[in-house]
Structure 1
Amino acid sequence: MTQHSDDSGQTDADLASVGRQLRALRRRRGWSLQQLSERAGVSFGLISQLERGLGNPSFTAMHRIASALNVPLPTLLEGDRDAAVVRAEERALLPVPADEPPAQQVVRELLTPRSSALLQLIRSTLPPGFSNEGRPYRHLGTECVTVVSGRLLVVHGDTRCELGEGDSMTYGCSVPHWWANAASTPTVVLGAVTPFET
């Protein structure tokens, strides 16, 4: 007697995961359901159903939604998986401008999956003499940095703080901020960034 496996439970879980990812991406941009509906050219009801883990969306509709959110379609379809492993040898290196002088060439390793839209963990190795005072960072989100080794100067708006090994600092990223290596040796920093401002 042939047995047929019922994978509807897994399908429901996958759709619910996609719905949670869609809601998070929409909220990250500060859009209402109606705004996303208008930008994507799909019905309000479809998006509402998707976010609740319901419905049977077409490929075209999913592609339009991903395009409106400015994310690759796989990022939307992967959903918010419970666990993902990035092996040490598989870390993605973030690009460094080719014309940067050696003292400005920070090695940035992405420790979270490339598809993660809600959290990034980056290991930065700052060479002696590094400073981006002339080009401060400013973007949406909240960041927490922890010094693994060396010393890090963080300037956030009018606040200047020097961090030593094991010290952490959390700040809103919409305020201009910059780093400098305050040690004579390389400084290693772990930085966790989320798109939400606290």
Structure 2
Amino acid sequence: MRDVVEAPDPVDVRLGARLAALRAERGWSLEELAERSGVSRSTLSRAERAQTSPTASLLNRLCAVYGRTMSRLLSEVEAQPSPLVRAADQPVWEDRASGFVRRSVSPPHAGLRGELVEGRLAAGADLAYDRPPVPGLEQHIWVLDGTLEVTAEDTAHRLRAGDCLRMRVWGPTRFRCPEGSADTRYALAVVLP
């Protein structure tokens, strides 16, 4: 019996191509990007060739190096932006390794500073970002369902349905859905500085 090789996800293919283009625009080798991002050369190469689906943590590191938000990066691999995006057409990206699902709610537009994202974390999911994609990024986190633990610059916040946390992100952050609790769903408003 032969092993079935799955075709790469089309979004991963476009994302890989965009990551390669961003690196090429700066004239960086994979080695230079690895040094700047703290991500191994082999992982970067696999992501650019869509041989692996990048994790949220990996994309966050690359967004920090390229000075853009994750939403902006993901919108760059979608079709031409429209001022209206129907719910069925809003791009969804999943980090299967961590149990994180991200839906870009706002219509993408490179010239605007704000965007709205829906995040879903499975019980026990734990997302740690070592740096913001853009220093000073403003975030408003509104929990719609469940419980969300957010840690920013060593300050922990436990948010429940209806709670909203506003913060500016300068350092590491962590988003966690506690073990044994229901899945968490939240709205994240992101505003560039």
Normalised TM-score (structure 1): 0.51
TM-superposed CA distance for 1:86, in Å, is 1.6
Q: Is the 8 A contact 1:111 1:123 kept in 2?
A: yes
The equivalent of 2:173 in structure 1 is: 177
The equivalent of 1:90 in structure 2 is: 89
Percent of aligned pairs sharing the same letter: 20
* Corresponding letter in the other structure for 1:84: P
Q: Is the 8 A contact 1:147 1:164 kept in 2?
A: yes
Aligned pair partner of 2:105 in 111, 116, 135: 111
The equivalent of 2:191 in structure 1 is: 194
**Aligned equivalents of 1:180, 1:136: Cα separation in 2:** 14
The equivalent of 2:149 in structure 1 is: 153
Q: Does 1:129 align with 2:128?
A: no
Alignment of 1:10-21 (within 5 A): none
Consecutive aligned runs of 4 or more in structure 1 exceeding 6 Å deviation: 69-72
More strand by share: 2
Q: Is the 8 A contact 1:153 1:160 kept in 2?
A: yes
Q: Is the 8 A contact 2:94 2:100 kept in 1?
A: no
**Aligned equivalents of 2:87, 2:162: Cα separation in 1:** 21
Q: Is the 8 A contact 1:139 1:173 kept in 2?
A: no
Normalised TM-score (structure 2): 0.52
Partner SS state of residue 132, structure 1: strand
For structure 1, the residue ranges without an aligned partner over 5 or more in a row are: 1-68, 76-82
How many residues align? The count is 114
Q: Is the 8 A contact 1:131 1:179 kept in 2?
A: yes
TM-superposed CA distance for 1:95, in Å, is 5.1
* Corresponding letter in the other structure for 1:166: G
Partner SS state of residue 94, structure 1: strand
Question: What per-residue deviation string (whole Å, max 9, x for no partner) do you get for residues 60-98 of structure 1?
Answer: xxxxxxxxx9999xx9xxxxxxx92221101011353xx
Q: Is the 8 A contact 2:123 2:184 kept in 1?
A: yes
Partner SS state of residue 112, structure 1: coil
For structure 2, the residue ranges without an aligned partner over 5 or more in a row are: 1-66, 77-81
